[in-house]
Amino acid sequence: MISYNEKERIFKLDTPNTSYLIGIVDEENFIGHIYYGKRLRDTEAAFLMRTGEPPYVPSKNNRERCSFYDCFPFEYPTGGMGDYRESCLTIRTADGHTGSMLSYVSHEIFDGKPELNGLPATFGTEQECNTLRIICEDKYAGMQVELLFSVFHDTDVITRSVKITNIGQKHFYLTKVYSACIDMDNNDFDMISLHGSWARERYIQRKTLGYGIQNVSSFRGQSGHQDHPFLALVDKNTTQEHGEIYAMNFVYSGNFCAQAEVSQFGFVRMSMGIHPENFCWKLESGESFQAPEVVMVYTDKGFDAMTAAFHKLYKKHLIRSVYKNKKRPILINNWEATYFDFNTEKLLSIAKEASQLGIEMLVMDDGWFGKRNSDTCGLGDWVVNEEKLNGGLKYLVDEVNKLGMKFGIWFEPEMISPDSDLYRAHPDWAIAIPGRPSTEARQQYVLDLSRKEVVDYIYEMVASVLRSANIEYVKWDMNRQLSNIGSICLPADRQGELYHRYVLAVYEMQRRLTEEFPNLLLENCSGGGARFDPGMLYFSPQIWCSDDTDAIERLAIQEGTSLIYPLSTMGAHVSDCPNHVLGRTTPFETRGIVALAGTFGYELDVTKIAQKEKDMIPKQVALYHQFNDLIREGDYYRIASYQKNHLFDCWQVVSEDKMEALVTFVQVLSRPNYKSKRILLKGLAEDKQYKVCFVNDETIESKVYSGDTLMKAGLLIPGLFGDFQARLIQLVAEA
Ligand code: DGJ
């Protein structure tokens, strides 16, 4: 619900449990942020803008205009006029000047939510959401700014984005455009972010928010392994179940900045948008720039509630794939099984064995094209290597199909190897600074996707492979970050557009791909999970979480990822041991149980593993079929974190009707204390009786307990012998 109180000049945006207030102030029509928090009955909170205190609004006292700017809670702050906190928008006019200030001009409120030109964004019908568009202007700069806010009726989420239009005569440059900002009082906040590196993505970090600017960011040309486009400010006492959280997540896959600044008066400015590093977008008269969307969540009920809001939004209003509500085929990927050393025969022998064990799709990873027998060459030459795939691709796919399995394939469409036919023909197609040696990463360069002919050529190569056989899945990889930013096709004053144009082109290619092949299951990937973000989820219902497939490392990676993203989106496979990244050996059963919390599949040579392990695969397959609907669609709760207690991990999924639940418990380290562990379950119906069954432990007798008891008194997990032990516990409500 969105309303406007014309007398008080206050907008009120309501979600089921939250309210957001924006005020228009003074005869100069400043747009101020009043409130974001628990749902309010009315709009009487304008006092929070403190315009009745010195330094007063300029119409009352113009002497301290600068000081007024420096502490007013701007809804969308601009720089250079006296607000010395970090702004959301910086322009440089044709004459080279930078200051700007916005004032309200008009607004409209309407049902539904518009698409954002060229960008992924959340969506909803006219019945599911409504939108406020505030138009403001800087008449001196000839600039119009549209602030877009949408509220969803079924979840506590508000989305925001910004569009800038040049309504003047001369061009100007945008050198910074963030998408969202909240100016509010600092409540002694902690800051939550997700950090990582290759094979260690999205670890949760919590630290005290101090004075000054604290941020997480990427200017790697992708969202990245290292930081994540997510930021939350939380009360010191916030836990899984209690406490305030203000969270932002960016629906974008390129450079980002997410930051919080505590100012001299103890106010905090939280903002998010495209990173200004190397960003400069030229707007000619009449042109517009659309900034990506930020998703905001407020709750006073702790991390479980924040997670629930993001999960619900992304499951219902972000992912578009036909697979979003469907069980995905259990796949076996040959990467860790063979790396580059495979041929038709080897792949078919894996497929044959896998099909007999219940695995449903073979995915052929890197190495099937050009002369790609290692990662030193071949990217860009998307032509089947018939020396490896003797008989051709169609033959292989048909043979796999005959086994009753689907077939999937790997691409890295954004890249070019210096040692490739494509590079020899078009050396200028790589992103590079003319005259300067380019920096290689994994011995490859990045294609200049700001050029239409490059995008069209690559798209056509990829699509013609897909048209040539019955290929039902694509893994779209991206194995290096951008550097040496330069395009020979952009003029000097548009080179700063390359990073964003690159991301727009990736989106355009994936849009084309999913439109031409609407039934394709697309899985995004980037050297593991370096581009696991809502922008990519818009196109693919699942993303490869990490190259680290070790079950124990995965506990932390999947905990951090599931803080925001539904389990149905997390690519997770059972791989061989000792683990290829860590060298750790964990029980096959535990690997399966941990991978069940994601899309589930295998990444090993099933013809080579021990018979004992092979025998377990049909059982794991059966568990997947038994529980995937629940895991994919159910509500997720975090019960315990190995990252915090250093001993065990535990999470739970509950069906919407609370008739069924599944608890996963993983003991990481065994201690000489064989006493059972008590865990408190969540999300059950207090008045229902649940039959509790230890699915993979026949020694424990099934018993019936009430939801009330299980949530308040808890459940005992018997002492487990050995490190890395896992238990799956099913709860079924009695009718
Ligand atoms: C990185 C991916 O994360 C891996 O799964 C694999 O596809 C390799 N790239 C192939 O080069």
368 lines ligand 1 (CB under 6 A): no
**Cα–ligand 1 centroid distance for 528 (angstroms):** 7
Please indicate whether residue 477 is annotated as part of the active site: yes
Closest CA to 18 of 152, 172, 165, 118: 152
- Decide whether any atom of ligand 1 lies within 6 Å of the 411 Cβ: no
Active-site residue, from 227, 366, 448, 477: 477
User: How remote is the CA of residue 478 from the centroid of ligand 1, in Å?
Assistant: 8
The single-letter code of the amino acid at 468 is S
DSSP string, 328-377: PPPEEESHHHHTT---HHHHHHHHHHHHHHT--EEEE-S-SBTT-SSTTS
* 357 pocket-lining for ligand 1 (C-beta < 6 Å): no
Can you give the pLDDT at residue 674?
72
User: Residue 735: its pLDDT value, please?
Assistant: 86
Asked whether 527 lines ligand 1 (CB < 6 A), one says yes
C-alpha to C-alpha distance for 445 and 460, rounded to whole angstroms: 20
477, 542, 580: residue to mutate for ligand 1 pocket, most atoms within 8 A of CB? 477
**Helix (H) and strand (E) counts in the chain:** 14, 39
Q: How far does the centroid of ligand 1 lie from the alpha carbon of residue 560, in Å?
A: 21
Tell me, in angstroms, the distance from the centre of ligand 1 to residue 711's CA.
41
Rounded Cα distance between 72 and 55, Å, is 9
Q: Which mutation among 338, 365, 375, 557 tests ligand 1's pocket best, with the greatest number of atoms within 8 A of CB?
A: 365
Q: For a pocket test of ligand 1, which of 341, 374, 410, 554 has the largest count of ligand atoms closer than 8 A to its C-beta?
A: 410
**Residue 584 · residue 578 · CB < 8 Å:** yes
CA 710 to CA 652: how far, in whole Å? 12
Rounded to whole angstroms, how far apart are CA atoms 353 and 346? 11
Q: Is the CB of 479 under 6 A from ligand 1?
A: yes
- Residue whose CA is closest, atom 11 of ligand 1? 366
Backbone φ and ψ of 59, nearest 5°: -65, -25
Q: At 318, phi and psi to the nearest 5?
A: -130, -50
Residue 525 in contact with ligand 1 by CB distance below 6 A: yes
Distance from the alpha carbon of residue 475 to the mean position of ligand 1, in angstroms: 9
Pairing of strands 361-364, 406-411: parallel
Instruction: Give yes or no: 547 in active site.
Output: yes
* Atom number of ligand 1 nearest to Cα 528: 3
Q: How far is the CA of 292 from the centre of ligand 1 (A)?
A: 28
Given 26, 547, 548, 576, the catalytic residue? 547
With a 6 Å cutoff on the Cβ, whether 575 touches ligand 1 is: no
627 lines ligand 1 (CB under 6 A): no
Q: Do the Cβ atoms of 183 and 312 come closer than 8 Å?
A: no
292 lines ligand 1 (CB under 6 A): no
- SS (HEC) of 124-170: CCCCCEEEEEEEEEECCCCEEEEEEEEEECCCCEEEEEEEEEECCCC
* Ligand 1 pocket residue status of 528, Cβ below 6 Å: yes
- Is the sign of the CA dihedral 404, 410, 411, 417 positive or negative? negative
- Which of 481, 525, 543 has the most ligand 1 atoms within 8 A of CB, as the residue to mutate? 525
CA of 354 to the centre of ligand 1 (A): 21
Dihedral, CA of residue 424, residue 428, residue 431 and residue 432, to nearest 10: 100
| Atom of ligand 1 lying closest to residue 547 CA | 3
**Whether the CB of 365 sits within 6 Å of ligand 1:** yes
Q: Separation of 476 CA from ligand 1 center, angstroms?
A: 9
Residue 672: the pLDDT is 85
Which residues of the chain fall below pLDDT 70? none
For ligand 1, the distance from its centroid to the CA atom of residue 477, given in whole angstroms, is 7
